[in-house]
Amino acid sequence: MNFDNADSIPQSVRELIDTDQIIARIDLGGGDAIFVTATQTIQYQSQRLLNNELTETYQHDIERIAVSEKRNKPNRTLMYDVADTAESTVTVAQIDDILTSILTGMLHTIHAITSDEIV
């Protein structure tokens, strides 16, 4: 997949990905999206209460992914080591696409698949 159309990628996300190629984009609705490269996942929120946008970056050098349910919504936890975790909540409809994209990025990070392969 090619997501190189710079107009469809927010400036703050473009700055974070630098020269990486986006391998997946998951639309979260309302202008929010998740962008996945071979080395990182970027969660972009376009509208915030006190500022215009927010980006959170999750590197793909993780040891484990866990999925649990909180208040009838899936909760994704990326575990880097015993003390370092990153959590986010998404809708049921989005969890499969998000996990597939993160797994693709993880496999790219450890060179288990080539740059043109996806999960």
Domain containing 13: what range? 6-109
Give the Cα separation of 119 and 115 in Å (integer).
11
- Does the residue 49 lie in any domain? yes
- Does the residue 114 lie in any domain? no
- Does the residue 50 lie in any domain? yes
Structure-block tokens of residue 104? 């693709």
Domain count, the chain: 1
**pTM score of the predicted model:** 0.80
Selection from 61, 66, 63 nearest residue 76 by Cα: 66
User: pLDDT digits over 52-68, tens only?
Assistant: 788 999 888 888 888 88
Judge whether residue 50 has pLDDT over 70: no
Give the Cα separation of 100 and 90 in Å (integer).
14
Helices (H), 4-118: 11-17, 92-109
Residue 38, domain CATH: 2.30.29.30
